[in-house]
Chain A
Protein backbone atom coordinates (compact mmCIF):
# COMPACT_ATOMS: atom_id res chain seq x y z
CA UNK A 1 0.00 0.00 0.00
CA UNK A 2 1.30 3.47 -0.79
CA UNK A 3 1.87 5.65 2.23
CA UNK A 4 -0.89 8.11 1.37
CA UNK A 5 -3.90 7.38 -0.84
CA UNK A 6 -6.90 9.56 -1.49
CA UNK A 7 -10.49 8.41 -1.28
CA UNK A 8 -13.89 9.98 -0.95
CA UNK A 9 -15.27 7.61 1.69
CA UNK A 10 -13.37 5.17 3.87
CA UNK A 11 -15.46 2.63 5.70
CA UNK A 12 -13.62 1.06 8.59
CA UNK A 13 -14.84 -2.49 9.15
CA UNK A 14 -16.24 -5.16 6.82
CA UNK A 15 -19.23 -6.48 8.77
CA UNK A 16 -22.93 -5.95 7.96
CA UNK A 17 -22.79 -2.23 8.92
CA UNK A 18 -19.69 -1.52 6.84
CA UNK A 19 -20.79 -3.60 3.86
CA UNK A 20 -24.22 -1.95 3.75
CA UNK A 21 -22.65 1.52 4.07
CA UNK A 22 -20.35 0.51 1.21
CA UNK A 23 -23.27 -0.68 -0.91
CA UNK A 24 -25.16 2.58 -0.45
CA UNK A 25 -22.11 4.83 -0.86
CA UNK A 26 -21.05 3.02 -4.05
CA UNK A 27 -24.55 3.15 -5.51
CA UNK A 28 -24.59 6.89 -4.77
CA UNK A 29 -21.54 7.17 -7.01
CA UNK A 30 -19.07 7.85 -4.23
CA UNK A 31 -15.57 6.42 -4.40
CA UNK A 32 -15.67 4.17 -1.37
CA UNK A 33 -13.25 1.65 0.07
CA UNK A 34 -13.75 -0.67 3.01
CA UNK A 35 -10.83 -1.34 5.30
CA UNK A 36 -10.89 -4.71 7.06
CA UNK A 37 -8.19 -6.36 9.17
CA UNK A 38 -9.47 -9.93 9.01
CA UNK A 39 -12.07 -11.70 6.95
CA UNK A 40 -14.97 -9.84 5.36
CA UNK A 41 -18.33 -10.56 7.00
CA UNK A 42 -17.93 -9.50 10.61
CA UNK A 43 -19.06 -11.42 13.66
CA UNK A 44 -21.88 -13.20 11.81
CA UNK A 45 -19.43 -15.49 10.04
CA UNK A 46 -19.32 -17.43 13.31
CA UNK A 47 -23.09 -17.91 13.40
CA UNK A 48 -24.12 -21.31 12.02
CA UNK A 49 -27.62 -20.05 11.27
CA UNK A 50 -29.02 -16.53 11.23
CA UNK A 51 -32.78 -16.87 11.60
CA UNK A 52 -33.78 -13.27 12.24
CA UNK A 53 -32.50 -11.51 9.12
CA UNK A 54 -35.57 -10.66 7.04
CA UNK A 55 -35.91 -12.32 3.66
CA UNK A 56 -34.55 -15.73 4.64
CA UNK A 57 -37.53 -17.70 6.00
CA UNK A 58 -35.42 -20.82 6.50
CA UNK A 59 -32.49 -18.94 7.99
CA UNK A 60 -29.09 -18.54 6.38
CA UNK A 61 -25.58 -19.47 7.50
CA UNK A 62 -23.83 -16.36 8.82
CA UNK A 63 -20.84 -16.95 6.55
CA UNK A 64 -23.15 -17.16 3.51
CA UNK A 65 -24.94 -13.96 4.50
CA UNK A 66 -21.59 -12.19 4.95
CA UNK A 67 -20.40 -13.46 1.58
CA UNK A 68 -23.60 -12.33 -0.18
CA UNK A 69 -23.40 -8.85 1.39
CA UNK A 70 -19.76 -8.62 0.31
CA UNK A 71 -20.47 -9.64 -3.29
CA UNK A 72 -23.42 -7.28 -3.54
CA UNK A 73 -21.37 -4.29 -2.33
CA UNK A 74 -18.46 -5.26 -4.59
CA UNK A 75 -20.77 -5.54 -7.61
CA UNK A 76 -21.81 -1.94 -7.07
CA UNK A 77 -18.25 -0.70 -6.88
CA UNK A 78 -17.05 -1.02 -3.28
CA UNK A 79 -13.35 -1.83 -3.07
CA UNK A 80 -11.59 -3.57 -0.18
CA UNK A 81 -8.28 -2.90 1.50
CA UNK A 82 -6.72 -5.15 4.12
CA UNK A 83 -5.32 -3.27 7.08
CA UNK A 84 -5.61 -2.73 10.78
CA UNK A 85 -6.76 0.77 11.69
CA UNK A 86 -4.80 2.46 14.47
CA UNK A 87 -6.19 6.00 14.43
CA UNK A 88 -8.32 8.62 12.71
CA UNK A 89 -7.15 12.22 12.50
CA UNK A 90 -9.18 15.22 11.50
CA UNK A 91 -7.39 17.83 9.42
CA UNK A 92 -8.67 20.89 7.60
CA UNK A 93 -11.09 19.59 4.96
CA UNK A 94 -9.96 15.97 5.06
CA UNK A 95 -9.36 13.02 7.36
CA UNK A 96 -6.45 10.69 7.78
CA UNK A 97 -7.02 7.05 8.58
CA UNK A 98 -3.86 5.56 10.02
CA UNK A 99 -3.37 1.85 9.50
CA UNK A 100 -0.68 -0.66 10.34
CA UNK A 101 0.63 -0.20 6.76
CA UNK A 102 0.42 3.55 6.21
CA UNK A 103 -2.04 6.40 5.87
CA UNK A 104 -5.19 6.79 3.85
CA UNK A 105 -6.64 10.20 3.18
CA UNK A 106 -10.35 10.80 2.63
CA UNK A 107 -13.23 13.23 3.04
CA UNK A 108 -15.54 11.00 5.02
CA UNK A 109 -14.97 8.18 7.48
CA UNK A 110 -17.70 5.71 8.41
CA UNK A 111 -16.57 3.80 11.48
CA UNK A 112 -18.15 0.34 11.57
CA UNK A 113 -15.65 -1.76 13.46
CA UNK A 114 -18.21 -3.64 15.56
CA UNK A 115 -17.54 -5.32 18.82
CA UNK A 116 -15.70 -8.37 20.03
CA UNK A 117 -15.98 -10.70 22.98
CA UNK A 118 -14.73 -9.22 26.21
CA UNK A 119 -11.56 -10.98 27.34
CA UNK A 120 -11.05 -12.23 30.90
CA UNK A 121 -7.75 -10.39 31.07
CA UNK A 122 -6.05 -13.07 33.17
CA UNK A 123 -2.71 -14.84 32.74
CA UNK A 124 -2.75 -17.75 30.32
CA UNK A 125 -5.79 -16.56 28.37
CA UNK A 126 -3.93 -15.16 25.36
CA UNK A 127 -1.28 -17.90 25.37
CA UNK A 128 -3.84 -20.71 25.33
CA UNK A 129 -6.15 -19.12 22.73
CA UNK A 130 -6.95 -21.87 20.22
CA UNK A 131 -5.56 -24.39 22.69
CA UNK A 132 -8.64 -24.60 24.87
CA UNK A 133 -9.54 -20.93 25.36
CA UNK A 134 -12.44 -20.08 23.05
CA UNK A 135 -14.92 -17.25 22.56
CA UNK A 136 -17.32 -19.29 20.42
CA UNK A 137 -18.90 -22.53 21.62
CA UNK A 138 -20.89 -23.05 18.43
CA UNK A 139 -17.59 -22.89 16.50
CA UNK A 140 -15.33 -24.97 18.70
CA UNK A 141 -17.68 -27.11 20.83
CA UNK A 142 -17.41 -30.23 18.63
CA UNK A 143 -13.64 -30.31 19.27
CA UNK A 144 -14.28 -31.02 22.98
CA UNK A 145 -16.32 -34.22 22.57
CA UNK A 146 -16.70 -36.15 25.83
CA UNK A 147 -14.63 -33.68 27.86
CA UNK A 148 -15.23 -31.29 30.77
CA UNK A 149 -15.36 -27.59 29.93
CA UNK A 150 -16.14 -24.32 31.69
CA UNK A 151 -18.34 -21.47 30.49
CA UNK A 152 -17.60 -18.12 32.11
CA UNK A 153 -20.53 -15.71 32.37
CA UNK A 154 -24.18 -15.62 33.39
CA UNK A 155 -26.02 -13.73 30.65
CA UNK A 156 -28.05 -14.94 27.68
CA UNK A 157 -24.97 -15.52 25.54
CA UNK A 158 -23.21 -17.59 28.22
CA UNK A 159 -26.23 -19.78 28.87
CA UNK A 160 -26.97 -20.22 25.16
CA UNK A 161 -23.36 -21.27 24.65
CA UNK A 162 -23.54 -23.69 27.62
CA UNK A 163 -26.72 -25.26 26.22
CA UNK A 164 -25.14 -25.60 22.77
CA UNK A 165 -22.23 -27.53 24.33
CA UNK A 166 -24.54 -30.15 25.87
CA UNK A 167 -24.63 -32.03 22.54
CA UNK A 168 -20.87 -32.56 22.56
CA UNK A 169 -19.19 -32.44 25.94
CA UNK A 170 -19.53 -34.61 29.01
CA UNK A 171 -19.77 -31.89 31.63
CA UNK A 172 -20.18 -28.12 31.65
CA UNK A 173 -19.38 -25.93 34.63
CA UNK A 174 -20.84 -22.43 34.41
CA UNK A 175 -18.68 -19.99 36.36
CA UNK A 176 -20.45 -16.79 37.28
CA UNK A 177 -19.27 -13.88 39.41
CA UNK A 178 -22.74 -13.23 40.84
CA UNK A 179 -24.97 -15.60 42.79
CA UNK A 180 -27.73 -15.66 40.20
CA UNK A 181 -27.94 -15.71 36.42
CA UNK A 182 -28.76 -12.60 34.44
CA UNK A 183 -30.01 -14.75 31.54
CA UNK A 184 -33.69 -14.72 30.59
CA UNK A 185 -36.06 -17.01 32.51
CA UNK A 186 -36.51 -19.56 29.73
CA UNK A 187 -32.75 -20.06 29.26
CA UNK A 188 -32.19 -20.16 33.03
CA UNK A 189 -34.76 -22.90 33.49
CA UNK A 190 -33.39 -24.95 30.63
CA UNK A 191 -29.82 -24.70 31.95
CA UNK A 192 -30.78 -25.48 35.54
CA UNK A 193 -32.69 -28.61 34.52
CA UNK A 194 -29.86 -29.88 32.29
CA UNK A 195 -27.97 -32.66 34.12
CA UNK A 196 -24.67 -31.99 32.29
CA UNK A 197 -24.59 -28.36 33.50
CA UNK A 198 -23.48 -27.38 37.00
CA UNK A 199 -22.84 -23.92 38.47
CA UNK A 200 -20.11 -22.24 40.47
CA UNK A 201 -21.61 -19.07 41.91
CA UNK A 202 -19.79 -15.92 43.07
CA UNK A 203 -16.66 -17.22 41.43
CA UNK A 204 -14.13 -15.57 39.14
CA UNK A 205 -11.29 -16.95 37.03
CA UNK A 206 -7.87 -15.73 38.13
CA UNK A 207 -5.64 -17.85 35.89
CA UNK A 208 -5.88 -20.21 32.91
CA UNK A 209 -3.35 -22.98 33.47
CA UNK A 210 -1.81 -25.31 30.92
CA UNK A 211 1.26 -25.85 28.77
CA UNK A 212 0.36 -26.81 25.22
CA UNK A 213 -3.34 -26.92 26.12
CA UNK A 214 -5.73 -25.82 28.84
CA UNK A 215 -5.58 -28.18 31.84
CA UNK A 216 -6.95 -26.23 34.81
CA UNK A 217 -8.54 -22.97 35.86
CA UNK A 218 -7.44 -21.19 38.97
CA UNK A 219 -10.63 -19.81 40.56
CA UNK A 220 -11.53 -17.52 43.44
CA UNK A 221 -14.72 -17.45 45.44
CA UNK A 222 -15.40 -13.71 45.78
CA UNK A 223 -17.37 -14.14 49.03
CA UNK A 224 -15.00 -16.36 50.99
CA UNK A 225 -11.89 -15.21 49.03
CA UNK A 226 -10.94 -18.89 48.92
CA UNK A 227 -8.90 -19.99 45.87
CA UNK A 228 -9.21 -23.38 44.26
CA UNK A 229 -8.52 -25.13 40.98
CA UNK A 230 -10.87 -26.79 38.50
CA UNK A 231 -9.71 -29.36 35.94
CA UNK A 232 -11.11 -28.55 32.49
CA UNK A 233 -9.86 -28.98 28.95
CA UNK A 234 -11.66 -25.95 27.61
CA UNK A 235 -12.93 -22.58 28.75
CA UNK A 236 -15.54 -20.60 26.81
CA UNK A 237 -15.49 -16.92 27.73
CA UNK A 238 -18.92 -15.22 27.48
CA UNK A 239 -18.69 -12.13 29.69
CA UNK A 240 -20.09 -9.61 27.25
CA UNK A 241 -18.80 -7.58 24.37
CA UNK A 242 -16.55 -4.59 24.03
CA UNK A 243 -16.68 -2.16 21.12
CA UNK A 244 -13.61 -1.98 18.87
CA UNK A 245 -13.15 1.76 19.31
CA UNK A 246 -9.63 2.10 20.77
CA UNK A 247 -8.49 3.79 17.54
CA UNK A 248 -11.14 6.52 18.03
CA UNK A 249 -10.25 7.40 21.62
CA UNK A 250 -8.27 10.50 20.59
CA UNK A 251 -10.74 11.57 17.89
CA UNK A 252 -14.10 11.44 19.63
CA UNK A 253 -15.69 11.42 23.06
CA UNK A 254 -16.66 7.79 23.83
CA UNK A 255 -19.12 6.71 26.51
CA UNK A 256 -17.71 5.04 29.66
CA UNK A 257 -18.02 1.57 28.06
CA UNK A 258 -16.21 2.76 24.93
CA UNK A 259 -19.19 3.13 22.60
CA UNK A 260 -19.49 5.95 20.06
CA UNK A 261 -22.30 8.44 20.57
CA UNK A 262 -24.22 9.37 17.42
CA UNK A 263 -27.48 11.06 16.50
CA UNK A 264 -30.21 9.24 14.53
CA UNK A 265 -28.43 10.12 11.28
CA UNK A 266 -25.29 8.31 12.50
CA UNK A 267 -23.42 11.62 12.82
CA UNK A 268 -20.81 11.98 15.54
CA UNK A 269 -19.50 15.18 17.10
CA UNK A 270 -16.89 15.33 14.34
CA UNK A 271 -18.29 16.57 10.99
CA UNK A 272 -17.68 13.97 8.29
CA UNK A 273 -17.10 11.16 10.77
CA UNK A 274 -20.03 8.76 11.01
CA UNK A 275 -20.50 5.57 13.01
CA UNK A 276 -22.68 2.53 12.32
CA UNK A 277 -23.51 -0.82 13.88
CA UNK A 278 -22.39 -2.39 17.14
CA UNK A 279 -19.92 0.35 18.04
CA UNK A 280 -22.79 2.80 18.62
CA UNK A 281 -24.12 3.50 22.06
CA UNK A 282 -27.47 1.69 22.52
CA UNK A 283 -27.05 -0.34 19.35
CA UNK A 284 -29.56 -3.19 19.15
CA UNK A 285 -26.61 -5.49 18.27
CA UNK A 286 -28.56 -7.19 15.51
CA UNK A 287 -27.46 -7.82 11.93
CA UNK A 288 -30.46 -6.04 10.49
CA UNK A 289 -29.94 -3.03 12.78
CA UNK A 290 -26.27 -2.83 11.80
CA UNK A 291 -27.24 -2.94 8.12
CA UNK A 292 -29.80 -0.18 8.71
CA UNK A 293 -27.19 1.94 10.49
CA UNK A 294 -24.82 1.42 7.56
CA UNK A 295 -27.43 2.59 5.05
CA UNK A 296 -28.25 5.67 7.15
CA UNK A 297 -24.58 6.52 7.63
CA UNK A 298 -23.91 6.34 3.89
CA UNK A 299 -26.92 8.54 3.08
CA UNK A 300 -25.76 11.06 5.70
CA UNK A 301 -22.25 10.92 4.27
CA UNK A 302 -23.61 11.69 0.80
CA UNK A 303 -25.48 14.74 2.16
CA UNK A 304 -22.34 15.88 3.99
CA UNK A 305 -20.26 15.65 0.80
CA UNK A 306 -22.86 17.59 -1.17
CA UNK A 307 -22.93 20.23 1.56
CA UNK A 308 -26.63 19.66 2.26
Chain B
Protein backbone atom coordinates (compact mmCIF):
# COMPACT_ATOMS: atom_id res chain seq x y z
CA UNK B 1 0.00 0.00 0.00
CA UNK B 2 1.20 3.47 -0.82
CA UNK B 3 4.17 2.39 -2.91
CA UNK B 4 4.26 1.79 -6.67
CA UNK B 5 4.16 -1.95 -7.52
CA UNK B 6 6.55 -3.34 -10.07
CA UNK B 7 4.40 -4.86 -12.78
CA UNK B 8 5.31 -7.00 -15.79
CA UNK B 9 3.57 -8.41 -18.84
CA UNK B 10 2.08 -11.25 -16.81
CA UNK B 11 0.72 -9.10 -13.98
CA UNK B 12 -0.30 -6.03 -16.02
CA UNK B 13 -3.79 -7.36 -16.79
CA UNK B 14 -4.67 -8.01 -13.14
CA UNK B 15 -2.86 -5.04 -11.61
CA UNK B 16 -3.68 -2.32 -14.14
CA UNK B 17 -6.30 -3.30 -16.72
CA UNK B 18 -8.70 -4.96 -14.27
CA UNK B 19 -7.87 -2.78 -11.27
CA UNK B 20 -10.89 -1.35 -9.47
CA UNK B 21 -9.18 2.02 -9.00
CA UNK B 22 -7.62 4.22 -11.66
CA UNK B 23 -3.92 3.39 -11.93
CA UNK B 24 -0.89 5.54 -12.65
CA UNK B 25 1.82 3.57 -14.48
CA UNK B 26 5.35 4.95 -14.44
CA UNK B 27 7.40 3.68 -17.42
CA UNK B 28 11.06 4.01 -16.47
CA UNK B 29 14.57 2.62 -16.90
CA UNK B 30 17.73 2.52 -14.83
CA UNK B 31 19.69 4.63 -17.35
CA UNK B 32 17.16 7.47 -17.32
CA UNK B 33 18.13 10.44 -15.12
CA UNK B 34 14.75 12.19 -15.14
CA UNK B 35 13.12 8.87 -14.16
CA UNK B 36 15.21 8.84 -11.00
CA UNK B 37 14.18 12.43 -10.29
CA UNK B 38 10.48 11.79 -10.75
CA UNK B 39 10.37 8.49 -8.80
CA UNK B 40 10.21 10.13 -5.34
CA UNK B 41 7.43 12.44 -6.59
CA UNK B 42 5.42 9.42 -7.73
CA UNK B 43 6.10 7.67 -4.41
CA UNK B 44 4.83 10.70 -2.49
CA UNK B 45 1.67 10.71 -4.61
CA UNK B 46 1.23 6.98 -3.96
CA UNK B 47 1.12 7.79 -0.24
CA UNK B 48 -1.21 10.70 -0.72
CA UNK B 49 -3.68 8.88 -2.99
CA UNK B 50 -3.48 5.51 -1.20
CA UNK B 51 -6.81 3.70 -1.31
CA UNK B 52 -8.19 5.82 -4.16
CA UNK B 53 -5.63 5.29 -6.85
CA UNK B 54 -3.18 2.47 -7.66
CA UNK B 55 0.44 3.08 -8.61
CA UNK B 56 2.55 0.79 -10.78
CA UNK B 57 6.01 0.84 -12.39
CA UNK B 58 7.13 -0.76 -15.62
CA UNK B 59 10.85 -1.12 -16.36
CA UNK B 60 10.94 -0.62 -20.16
CA UNK B 61 14.18 -2.62 -20.52
CA UNK B 62 12.67 -5.64 -18.79
CA UNK B 63 9.27 -5.22 -20.45
CA UNK B 64 9.83 -4.03 -24.04
CA UNK B 65 6.51 -5.52 -25.19
CA UNK B 66 4.50 -3.48 -22.71
CA UNK B 67 6.45 -0.35 -23.62
CA UNK B 68 5.81 -1.03 -27.29
CA UNK B 69 2.12 -1.83 -26.80
CA UNK B 70 1.52 1.55 -25.18
CA UNK B 71 3.75 3.43 -27.63
CA UNK B 72 6.29 4.55 -25.04
CA UNK B 73 8.90 6.56 -26.99
CA UNK B 74 10.27 8.76 -24.28
CA UNK B 75 10.80 8.16 -20.61
CA UNK B 76 9.69 8.89 -18.05
CA UNK B 77 6.20 8.51 -19.46
CA UNK B 78 3.36 8.32 -16.97
CA UNK B 79 0.10 6.77 -18.18
CA UNK B 80 -3.11 7.06 -16.20
CA UNK B 81 -5.38 4.04 -16.74
CA UNK B 82 -9.07 4.15 -16.04
CA UNK B 83 -11.51 1.37 -16.90
CA UNK B 84 -8.65 -0.61 -18.46
CA UNK B 85 -7.67 2.12 -20.91
CA UNK B 86 -5.02 4.84 -20.87
CA UNK B 87 -6.83 8.15 -20.44
CA UNK B 88 -3.88 10.49 -19.93
CA UNK B 89 -0.24 10.51 -21.00
CA UNK B 90 2.38 12.68 -19.31
CA UNK B 91 5.83 12.76 -20.87
CA UNK B 92 9.07 13.91 -19.29
CA UNK B 93 9.64 16.40 -16.48
CA UNK B 94 6.43 17.05 -14.64
CA UNK B 95 6.03 18.94 -11.39
CA UNK B 96 3.89 17.35 -8.68
CA UNK B 97 1.03 19.81 -9.26
CA UNK B 98 0.69 18.73 -12.89
CA UNK B 99 0.55 15.08 -11.88
CA UNK B 100 -2.06 15.83 -9.24
CA UNK B 101 -4.24 17.57 -11.81
CA UNK B 102 -4.12 14.45 -14.00
CA UNK B 103 -4.88 12.15 -11.05
CA UNK B 104 -7.75 14.31 -9.80
CA UNK B 105 -9.22 14.36 -13.31
CA UNK B 106 -9.04 10.56 -13.47
CA UNK B 107 -10.80 10.30 -10.10
CA UNK B 108 -13.81 12.25 -11.37
CA UNK B 109 -16.70 9.87 -12.07
Is residue A46 within 8 Å, beta carbon to beta carbon, of the partner chain? Answer: yes
Residues of B within 8 A of A47 (CB): 33
Chain A's nearest CB lies how many Å from the CB of B17? 18
Do B74 and A39 touch across chains, with their CB atoms under 8 A apart? Answer: no
Residues of B within 8 A of A44 (CB): 33
Is residue B36 within 8 Å, beta carbon to beta carbon, of the partner chain? Answer: yes
Is residue B102 within 8 Å, beta carbon to beta carbon, of the partner chain? Answer: no
For chain B, residues 47 to 100, give those with C-beta under 8 angstroms from any C-beta of chain A. Answer: 60-61, 64, 67, 71-75, 77, 89, 91-97
Do B75 and A139 touch across chains, with their CB atoms under 8 A apart? Answer: yes
| From A37, A61, A63, A139, contact of B95 by CB (8 A) | A37
Residues of B within 8 A of A39 (CB): 34, 37-38, 41, 93-95
Q: How many residues of A contact B (CB 8 A)?
A: 33
Residues of A within 8 A of B95 (CB): 36-39, 82
Is residue A242 within 8 Å, beta carbon to beta carbon, of the partner chain? Answer: no
Do B73 and A67 touch across chains, with their CB atoms under 8 A apart? Answer: no
- Report the 3 A-B pairs with minimum CB-CB distance, sorted nearest first: A130-B91, A63-B33, A38-B93
List chain B positions with a Cβ less than 8 A from chain A: 29, 31-34, 36-38, 41, 60-61, 64, 67, 71-75, 77, 89, 91-97
16 A-B residue pairs with Cβ-Cβ distance under 8 Å, sorted by A, are A45-B93, A46-B33, A47-B33, A63-B33, A63-B34, A66-B33, A67-B37, A82-B95, A82-B97, A129-B91, A134-B73, A136-B74, A143-B67, A143-B72, A213-B71, A214-B73
